[in-house]
Copies of this chain bind each other. A is one copy, B any other.
Amino acid sequence: MSQQPAARAAVIKDVARLAGVSHQTVSRVLNDHPSVRDETRERVLLAVKQLNYRPNALARGLAGRRSRVIGVVSFDTILHGPAATLLGIERAARHAGYGISIVALERLDRSGVVDAVNRLAEQSVAGVVIIAPLLTAAAAAGSLPTGVPAVVVESDLAGDLPTVSVDQVAGARLAVEHLLGLGHQTVWHLSGPKDWLEARDRVDGWRAALEAAGRRVPPVLAGDWSPKSGYEAGRELAERGDVTAVFCANDQQALGMLRALHERGVRVPEDVSIVGFDDIPEAAYLSPPLTTVRQDFDEVGRRCLAALLELLGVDRPPGVPRHPRVPPSLVVRASSGPPPAS
């Protein structure tokens, strides 16, 4: 009848008692402090194993003023990019021995970001990563009041905070150069929403590539990332006879555009070539399979963590650039080809 109801998890004192040392010595072993005799260390580790002891992260954080958790402010994780970025960060954090706390934002305005960071700060996170694909969020990140170490993803203009982003401009250039290389006279562009930085950068890269080649720059078609906006843009383009190549700012828009063109009897790539951006899992199985630009989100996650750890002074690999840009790569499939002979 004297059975404990749920044998309370062992704490550091239990380990100390079992190993016959002071709790402080146990703490030293756990944090591999140098001056512990080998024999003592082993005795402690044995006790740890026997009791299945796991240090309490809360107590650790409170006493040591550093927690092994990093906060992530995320946005619209239904979209492929943000979801993949979040996963990349989680993966990198886990490998570095950190946990992840997330706060998702419904709207990406200034007070929302600040508020989210505050909520994370309450939890004494070691630092935060802000996935801030919008201009407003980047601005907010630039003016964080608290002294929380922060890294901003997908934005290179967050005040003096370190940032990590995919080189969107280079990605757009890859797409455009690919199409020009196939013989197209110019390339149209269906952009993402104006307030997204990635959308803006892709427009810039597209325009720069066209200008560098001395080509005419058509007007930008404005989309909102959704397949719907791609569909609508596709119907417009189908009306005109002079479009031979379109660079869509993401794969979902490209998908909608494919549908519109197909509906109107415009053949891809024979009549019009389409290039997307993201390389979502579906891209290879659209009709036709989509040529697109792939982003390495795992690499983004790794670099975020590297930047954050440097900020925390944990690691100090001297060569880490403050605003690294991860290079994207072009994946050529069947949706792009030479222009019609005409």
Contact = CB atoms under 8 A, between A and B. Distances in A.
Interface of A: 6, 9, 54-59, 61-62, 67, 69, 77-78, 80, 83-84, 86-87, 90-91, 94, 99-104, 106, 118-124, 146-147, 226-228, 230-231, 252, 255-256, 258-259, 262-263, 281-282, 284-287, 289
A285 B230 contact: yes
Contacts of A67: 58
Contact of A285 (B84, B106, B146, B228): B228
25 contacts: A6-B147, A9-B146, A56-B62, A58-B61, A62-B62, A69-B123, A77-B77, A78-B281, A90-B103, A91-B104, A91-B106, A94-B103, A94-B104, A99-B101, A99-B103, A99-B120, A99-B123, A100-B103, A101-B102, A227-B282, A227-B285, A231-B285, A255-B282, A255-B285, A259-B285
A227 B118 CA distance: 41
Contacts of A121: 54
Chain A facing B: main interface SS: helix
Given A228-B285, A285-B228, A287-B259, A122 B62 contact: no
A295 to B, nearest CB: 13
Nearest to A65: B58
Contacts of A77: 77, 83, 86-87
Contacts of A227: 281-282, 284-285
A258 to B, nearest CB: 7
A101 B80 CA distance: 21
B286 A255 contact: yes
A54 B121 CA distance: 9
A59 B101 CA distance: 17
Nearest to A97: B119
Number of copies: 2
B281 A259 contact: no
Given A56-B62, A77-B77, A100-B101, 7 more contacts: A6-B147, A54-B118, A54-B122, A58-B123, A90-B103, A256-B285, A262-B287
A120 B9 CA distance: 14
B122 A56 contact: yes
Contact of A57 (B59, B123, B146, B285): B123
A259 B286 contact: yes
A227 B99 CA distance: 32
Contacts of A103: 90, 94, 99-100
Nearest to A228: B285
A67 B122 CA distance: 12
Contacts of A106: 91
A146 B284 CA distance: 44
Contacts of A228: 284-285
Nearest to A71: B99
Contacts of A256: 285
A13 to B, nearest CB: 15
B78 A84 contact: yes
A248 B40 CA distance: 61
Nearest to A147: B6
Q: Lowest 9 CB-CB distances: which A-B pairs, in order? A: A227-B285, A256-B285, A57-B123, A58-B62, A58-B61, A90-B104, A6-B147, A58-B124, A259-B287
B122 A57 contact: yes
